[in-house]
Amino acid sequence: MLSIRHLSKTYGNGVQALRDVSLDVPTGMFGLLGPNGAGKSTLMRTIATLQDPDSGTISLDGRDLLADKTATRRLLGYLPQEFGVYPRVSAEALLDHFAVLKGIVARGERKAVVEALLRQVNLWDVRKRKLGTYSGGMRQRFGIAQALLGDPRLVIVDEPTAGLDPEERNRFLNLLAEIGEKVVVILSTHIVEDVTDLCPRMAIIAQGQVLLSGEPNATVQALDGRVWRREVPKGELERYRQQMTVLSTRLVGGRTIIHVLSDARPEEGFAAVDPDLEDVYFGELRRHTARAA
């Protein structure tokens, strides 16, 4: 269990990136949802000991992760939102180099570890290819391979599927799900589908604050009978936004479709729809925005 208590962080420019964040993250996949600039990456970097919080604690199974950063880094694997690779080096050679840095110095052990990881992420057949020739999805899978060096107990992945095509995204998410059977995996993303598909527990964060945490299915069920859908003229969209809690707006075949949150039918023409995690997500963001106004 990863336990985060009262974590706060304000940067030198005055931006308060984390505001009294407290979370319990059990073994398995945990989704951290939030818009760009919500504080997700700051939280991930802080857990990964790449920066210090102003206050608060982080522990894994009772072990203080902030007390001994060197020891903590042996326990975790981290795939940041953007990570560099040497384009002229092969995947096998670079992963071998990372293994040495991780403390796996015995050549025979290192060779076995590198082979096992490249097979696990389905890159063994292209292990001799230079990383500069890899697709975005292949580079992300290589990133996971390096994050798994040393059998980490905590794996952090920050916006891992942004920019991937659907096939690569599915392959990558299946890999994460497999990893999450044994260790704590935190998936930080703004893509609601990724959390819906993978995570038995999640939290929504905005402006450095935790707005909601729990089981995705339970949060969706809490909106049963409260989400309404209607096609509206584009010119009247602003009226609906002013008069109702509009969760989302999208164009479907050239038509403007809105989802509205309401305890009863907002007006004639609206039809009740089954809620989903996207409705929960946008509902929490709208509620937070209204409180802050």
Name the strand (E) or helix (H) holding 149: none
What does pTM read for this prediction? 0.89
Q: In the β-sheet with 255-261, what is the strand arrangement from edge to edge?
A: 245-252, 255-261, 227-232, 271-272
Of the candidates 264, 233, 261, the one whose C-alpha atom is nearest the C-alpha of residue 245 is 261
Q: Are 257 and 230 in contact (CB under 8 A)?
A: yes
Of the candidates 133, 136, 119, the one whose C-alpha atom is nearest the C-alpha of residue 89 is 133
Q: Is 64 helix (H, G, I), strand (E, B) or coil?
A: strand
The set of residues, in sequence order, having a beta carbon less than 8 Å from that of 26 and lying 6+ positions away, is 1, 2, 184, 201
Q: Give the domains, in start order, of the chain with CATH numbers.
A: 2-215 (3.40.50.300), 221-292 (no CATH)
pLDDT at 265: 95
pLDDT at 167: 85
Q: Are 251 and 193 in contact (CB under 8 A)?
A: no
How do residues 121-179 score in pLDDT, each as one tens digit?
A: 999 999 999 999 998 888 889 999 999 998 999 999 988 887 788 888 888 888 888 88
Q: In the β-sheet with 209-214, what is the strand arrangement from edge to edge?
A: 76-79, 154-158, 184-189, 28-33, 201-206, 209-214
pLDDT at 207: 94
Alpha carbon distance 159, 46 (integer Å): 16
Average pLDDT for the chain? 91
270 has a pLDDT exceeding 70? yes
pLDDT at 93: 96
Straight-line distance from the first to the last Cα atom of the chain, in angstroms, rounded to the nearest whole number: 36
255 has a pLDDT exceeding 70? yes
- Beta strand 28-33 with 184-189 is parallel
* Average pLDDT rounded to a whole number, residues 248-258: 88
213 has a pLDDT exceeding 80? yes
pLDDT at 129: 96
pLDDT classification of 182: cutoffs 50, 70, 90: confident
pLDDT classification of 94: cutoffs 50, 70, 90: very high
114 has a pLDDT exceeding 90? yes
pLDDT at 293: 62
292 has a pLDDT exceeding 90? no
- Report the greatest alpha carbon distance in the chain: 72
Alpha carbons within 13 A on the beta-carbon side of 127: 17
Q: Which residues pair with 21 in a beta bridge?
A: 7
